[in-house]
Amino acid sequence: MNGSDADGGSGGGGAADAGVDEEPNALEDAPRVGEPVVESAVAEAAAATPTAAGATLEGLDRATRLDRVSSVLVAVGPGPHSGATVDVARAVADATDAWLELFHVVPTDAALADASEPGTGDPDDYGATGERLLDAARDRLGGFDRVDRWLVEDRSAAGAIVEQSPYYDLVVVGAPTTGTVGRFVFGSTTDTVIDDAEVPVVVVEADGETALDAA
């Protein structure tokens, strides 16, 4: 694209007429760089995903480029919207040829100690549960192969997602849920991510229960 721009601007005065005659056709055939795709891709993904009741796009003005989505951070958790979240993320990736990062946050010991309703199980169980959730999310993607997975330990799920957000074009999260672990992964985290992420955020609401199997 840069090369064709350079060629188009290199003509001298004597060749100007020929350049003007040829350039309109060349521009019509070239890709329309800058044509917005983010909003339409999310809308189409939501409409094409039967497990989703809706997908809300927040912070569109934070997109560095509206004409592409090359990478998507997908927050994976145990909530009732988690399966639909993965489904919508895949639909967006299918529409834009994006790469997906399945991302699960495990609470640190400090986070558990500060929780108003601390968990009763071994903290190691959170890691094992996270791996099962990531397995379930990966399985849900079926033959989709542009995907990585990442289990990270952090004091705040919201903080971990926000910290990683600049490295992606889009973040996809589930709608807020209740429950101790659900709140850590998605509850108030969703609002914080919407407010603080450096890229647009898609909030997915499931049409019924679509929790990933963590058994």
Tell me the pLDDT tens digit for each residue of 169-213. 999 999 986 554 444 444 478 889 999 999 999 999 999 989 997
Quote the tokens at residue 110.
Answer: 């400090």
**Which residues 6+ apart lie within 8 Å of 96 measured at CB?**
37, 41, 68, 69, 70
Q: Is residue 9 part of a domain?
A: yes
**Mean pLDDT throughout 87-111?**
93
Do 18 and 104 fall within a single domain?
A: no
**Burial, 170: exposed, middle or buried (Cβ in 10 Å; 0-12, 13-18, 19+)?**
buried
Do 143 and 85 fall within a single domain?
A: yes
Do 183 and 121 fall within a single domain?
A: yes
Do 89 and 126 fall within a single domain?
A: yes
Quote the tokens at residue 45.
Answer: 């993904």
Do 122 and 179 fall within a single domain?
A: yes
Q: Is residue 116 part of a domain?
A: yes
**pLDDT at residue 122, rounded to an integer:** 62
Percentage of the residues of the chain whose pLDDT score is greater than 90: 60
pLDDT band at residue 17 under the 50/70/90 scheme: very low
Q: Is residue 70 part of a domain?
A: yes
**pLDDT at residue 11, rounded to an integer:** 43
Report CA torsion sign: 66, 186, 210, 73. positive
**Mean pLDDT throughout 22-41?**
61
Q: Is residue 212 part of a domain?
A: no
CB 185 within 8 A of CB 192: no
Do 6 and 64 fall within a single domain?
A: no
CB 43 within 8 A of CB 96: no
What single-letter amino acid sits at 26? A
pLDDT band at residue 14 under the 50/70/90 scheme: very low
**Mean pLDDT throughout 155-162?**
91
Do 95 and 189 fall within a single domain?
A: yes
For residue 159, pLDDT beyond 70: yes
Instruction: Report the domain count for the chain.
Output: 2
Q: Is residue 213 part of a domain?
A: no
Do 8 and 93 fall within a single domain?
A: no
Q: Does residue 11 sit in helix, strand or coil? A: coil
Q: Is residue 214 part of a domain?
A: no
Q: Which residue has the higher pLDDT, 31 or 158?
A: 158
pLDDT tens per residue, range 33-54: 568 999 999 999 999 999 999 9
CATH number of the domain that residue 62 is part of: 3.40.50.620
Q: Is residue 165 part of a domain?
A: yes
Rounded to two decimals, the pTM is 0.77
Calpha distance 169→155 (Å, rounded): 24
Residue in this structure with the two tokens 């188009």, named with its chain if needed: 8
For residue 4, pLDDT beyond 50: no
Do 9 and 93 fall within a single domain?
A: no
Q: Which domain holds residue 21?
A: 1-30
Do 61 and 129 fall within a single domain?
A: yes
**Mean pLDDT throughout 50-69?**
95
**pLDDT at residue 197, rounded to an integer:** 97
Do 26 and 63 fall within a single domain?
A: no
Q: Is residue 157 part of a domain?
A: yes
For residue 30, pLDDT beyond 70: no
Q: Which whole-number Å values give the CA distances from 52 to 57, 67, 90, 134, in the listed order?
A: 14, 24, 12, 20
Do 11 and 92 fall within a single domain?
A: no
**pLDDT at residue 115, rounded to an integer:** 61
Q: Which helix or strand (DSSP H or E) is residue 172 part of?
A: strand 170-174
**pLDDT at residue 196, rounded to an integer:** 96
